[in-house]
Every structure is written in C-alpha cells, then in structure tokens.
Amino acid sequence: MLGIRPATGRDAAAIGRIHVETWQSTYAGVLPAAYLAGLNTVRRAAWWADELRRPEEQGRILVAELDDDGVVAFGSCGRCRRTPPQWKDLPSSEVGEIYTLYVAPDFQNRGVGRALLNRLLARLRHEGNRRAMLWVLALNPSRFFYEAVGGRRLGIFSERVAGAEVEEWSYGWELERN
C-alpha cells in the first residue's frame, strides 16, 4: 500500500539514492556523462539531511513509500523562485513551486508520481497559493507526465546545468481554494 508522509532525517539516505538514480537514468545523453557518473548518493543524502533539519522545510519535503519496498519517491515544494511571465499579476506569496518530484526508476508508471504530485499541490494550496508551477528539462521524458496530469505549459527558460546549455519548460496549475 502506498503511503505519503513528511520526510524525516531517517529518510535522507533513501532520498539521496533516489535523487542520484533518477538523474542518472533520466538525463543520460542529456547532461554530460562524467557529471552523471560523478553523482554520489552519500553526498546527496548529506545535502538532503541538512535540508530536512531546516525548520522552514518541515512538511514541504514528502516521501512516498510502499509497505514492502520502503521509500520509492520524494518531492519538495515551497515559494516560487522564478515566476513565469504570465503570472506576474499575482503576488509572489500566492505562487508556489514544486521543486522536486522524483520516483525511483523501478517504481515509475505505477501512480506514485501522480499521488505525490497531488499531495504537493495540496500542501501549496494549504499554504495559501492560488497557483503552482514547476520547471522540467525539455528533454526529460517525464514532461509528458505533467501534461497528462493537467499541467499547462507556461514558458521556456535556458540555463547551464552541469556545464551543458539546457532548455527548461515550466508547467502550471490553478489551485482551487477550499
């Protein structure tokens, strides 16, 4: 059975492992191979452990776990860091962002990502956001998932990631108020 809950420090190792595994599988051929090979689960877990200790992150980092498999996905959300131009009419305090949404490769296409995304959007709605958005690399095949779950493509942004020039697409959702 799938459960979704706020992450704790005990989840940092699983989160670090999933983070590295998903980047290595998703971005092979997109980001430099040397960069992907150099990703380290121990360092990534330590970074997440630091994030989980920050009081402002409490409840904003979630894990999805299965009874027999443990933590199989994680996601995080918070205040929007780069508002798409179409939403400049809203105060920044009313636009939330999904920062991360990673499902371990062996557990993709099983509804885990959809359930986790819905919980992250609910969290942002609970915090008073009227809209939510996320950024995804244009060459990430998961971008079609965001379209399938109602995300509306908002814009395109280019930046350097791991030394490679990449294009990112933003997707957005209107959040209904309770």
What pLDDT, on the 0 to 100 scale, is given for residue 97?
A: 96
C-alpha dist (Å) from residue 115 to 51, 90, 178: 23, 27, 19
Instruction: Report mean pLDDT in 10-residue bins for the chain, 178 residues.
Output: 96 98 95 96 97 91 96 96 78 89 96 97 94 94 92 91 92 83
Q: What is the pLDDT of residue 82?
A: 82
Determine the pLDDT at residue 124.
96
Which residues neighbour 72 within 8 Å (Cβ) at sequence distance 6 or greater?
Answer: 18, 64, 65, 66, 103, 104, 106, 107, 112
Could you tell me which of 159, 146, 69 has the C-alpha nearest to residue 113?
Answer: 146
Residue 177 confidence (pLDDT): 64
Residue 14 confidence (pLDDT): 98
**Number of separate helices (H) and strands (E) present in the chain:** 5, 7
| CATH tag, 2-174 | 3.40.630.30
Q: Which residues pair with 65 in a beta bridge?
A: 3, 71
pLDDT of residue 86: 75
What CA dihedral angle connects 145, 137, 119 and 125, to 10 degrees?
-110
Q: Where are the domains of the chain?
A: 2-174
